[in-house]
Structure formats: structure tokens, C-alpha cells
A = this chain, B = another copy of it.
Amino acid sequence: MTAPQIDHRIGAAAVTVLDTEGRPLSHRDVVVEQRAHAFSFGNIGFELIPMANGEAGPSTANAGLWFDVFNTATLPFYWGPFEPERGRPGTERLRRTAEWFAAHGCRVKGHPLVWHTLTADWLRDRPADEVEAAVRARIRRETADFAGVIQAWDVVNEAVIMPVFRNERHRNAITRLAWERGRLALIRLAFTEARAAGPAVTLLLNDFDMSPAYECLIEGVLEAGVPVDAIGLQSHMHQGYWGEERTLATIERFARFGLPIHFTETTLLSGELMPSHIEDLNDYQVPSWPSTPDGEQRQADEIVRHYRTLLSHPAVHAITYWGLSDNDAWLGAPCGLIRADGTPKPAYEALRGLIKGEWWLPPTTMRTDAAGHVEVRGFYGEYRLSAAGRAASFPVTLPRTDVSLRLQGS
């Protein structure tokens, strides 16, 4: 097959370079380089939380690898671990983490505000009205406490299965609330509370269910006027890479609603695949699940195909890979981009080769014309132009950017 087209990710800027006095810099060599992607290339930041909080740990070595490729960090707000004792949330630790990522130039996303798994166990036996009030208060608290530092929230996670979730002996409070009130009522109250934090934050509905069920849910949610900003699609591919055709068909079904699509949770394995007969991936427990040389080659090949496919569809605005290293990976699966020994897998290098290679403008010498013009083409994002020890920044955006840059001290 031919490589997917991603020209719609590339823009141009007509730059007029001026010296510090504002005169065109004619016939001069300047160096242009990309500094950031507009597209969100994300990963979970869970492993770096200790480091962000000044604690020693294995995370230090991995942080460099993280920041070298990714620009958006997803942080864990699982209600149970976040607030194991009612009224004592782990706000400070995550706030420091979020600020640390922001200081590194990253966007930060919170995951999730409402989910039946890993929810607060102290709500399990409380009446529905109290559960609803607690859910509302928790959403108001988190969105307020992280205002300005978290730009996106997975507001409700996996609502399709939520009211009928059956993986526990004793039903959790969120499943029960979704059953009693309905998915749509729960989604509306959650988004209404989250929206109270302001219009600047991106609110996502997120699901792993790629069947028509999720389409039906979205139709109802949008019809009801719930303020959803983007549709989150999970792609944990523990049972094998979906392939280009299925991926594009899936995007097409959800792009129909006219909202941005975020691939919120992408996993590709570098070891054996999970058998296809497993329905709830959580049911698959193995004592050891190693990364293998063959698996690593396959993962590298597939991550390139997956990212190329996703970027080829204009509706996709963000991709979050779900895991940096194989340490503490969900289900123990070898889904990381770094081996347990800290060395990067081929998939890491392959992804870096796209995001910071093929899809990136490295420092490039260009020559201005008599009027001081250069034309810069590249992926949407932030760029820097320098000449003779002075520099200025500019964006490449849609529509075509037209900008005059007065160089400042670099």
C-alpha cells in the first residue's frame, strides 16, 4: 500500500526577518528550526511522578527519553488511589508533577474524573444521592485545583460498559450510579461540573468500546447538549495491531460527529499477543510476559504504521501512547517503548524518527531575499529563526502564517 498522506499536517509561514532596528535583513543566511509540534504527541507521565516530586528513583534516566519525543503528559487521577481516605486527596503531589511537566513545555491531561474501575471504595455502600454529590464535588475540586495547569480531562471513562460492568463481586458506586441514573445523565452531570472550570479546558468522553454502542452513546450525548470537546478512542492492541483499514474505518465512524478525535490510550506489544478469545483484557493473567526481539521489531513496524495512519486522518488531533517503560505496565505486558533494563526498544527509536525526524524541521540554513523574506514549510507548531546570535520565534499555523520577526538577543 502507499504511505498515508499527511500533507494536511504541514503549513507554511512567509517570514520577513528584521534586524533589531526593524530593517529587513537582506540576502542573509538564517537558521530555522522547529521547537514544538502543535499536534499532541502524548504519553502517560506516571513513571516520572517521583522525579517531578524530587524523589530518587529509576525515573530519572527515563525522563530524558520521555521529553525527547513527547509533548503531552497524561497524569493519573484514579479516584481510589488519588483519595484513598475521604477528604485527603493527593492533590499536592500531582500538582507538582503537572507544573513540572508544564515547566518542561508540556501540555498536561488528567485521567479520568469518572470511572468505575479504581474508584473510591469508601463510596461503595453509600446511597445514590450521596454518590452523585461526591462525584460532583470531586470533579469541581480537581478541575479547580488544577485550573491553568491541566489543559484536558478524560471526564468520563468507559461509559458504554459502566452501568453493566460485571468484574467485581460487589458492585462499585459508579457502576451503580450509572445504572440508576443512566449513562447519559451521569455524563451530563460530570461534564457540567467539569465545564464550570471554564471553556479553555478540553473535555473528553473516552472509551475502549469501538462498536456502534459508543456511536449511539455519543449521538445521545451530543443531542442532549453535553459540552464534549473531543472524542477519546482507546487503542490498547494487546490482541494485535488493528491494521490501517480497520483503524481508518473506526476513525471515520467517529469523525462523523464533527468533533476532534483523540487517540487517548495506545498500546502495541513487543512480545506475544494476548489470545483473541479474551474479552475483558483484565482477565488475562500470566506470570511472565517478556519483550522479545521479534516482538520488538513488530512493535517498531506497527507503531510507525499506526501513527502514520492516525495522522493521515484530519480529525485526529492527539495521540497518547500508554506507557514509557515496561516497568509496572498494565497486566505486565511488554507494551513500553523502553525495556525493563532502561534501554530504548526499536519502537522508541522508530517513533522518535517520525516525531523528531521525518515530521520535524531540524536546524536548517535558509537565505533571505532582498526584502528579508524566507518561506518556511513544516508541521504545524512553533519555530525559531536565528541569525548572527539573535533569534525570534514564530508559529506555523493554518491558515498560512504571515509574520515579521524582529530579531532579539538569542
Contact = CB atoms under 8 A, between A and B. Distances in A.
Interface stretch (A179-187, A306-314, A399-407): A179-187
Majority secondary structure, A binding face: helix
A47 B60 CA distance: 77
B184 A220 contact: yes
A253 B164 contact: yes
Interface string A178-214: 0100111100000000000000000000000101111
Contacts of A215: 163-164, 183, 213
Contacts of A7: none
A212 B214 CA distance: 9
A174 B130 CA distance: 45
Interface residues of A, number: 24
A256 B183 CA distance: 12
Interface of A: 160-161, 163-164, 179, 182-185, 209, 211-217, 219-221, 223-224, 253, 256
A213 B215 CA distance: 8
A219 B164 contact: no
A81 B21 CA distance: 81
Given A179-B256, A256-B179, A161 B212 contact: yes
A267 B316 CA distance: 44
Given A164-B253, A224-B224, A253-B164, A182 B213 contact: no
B223 A184 contact: yes
A214 B209 CA distance: 14
A211 B161 CA distance: 10
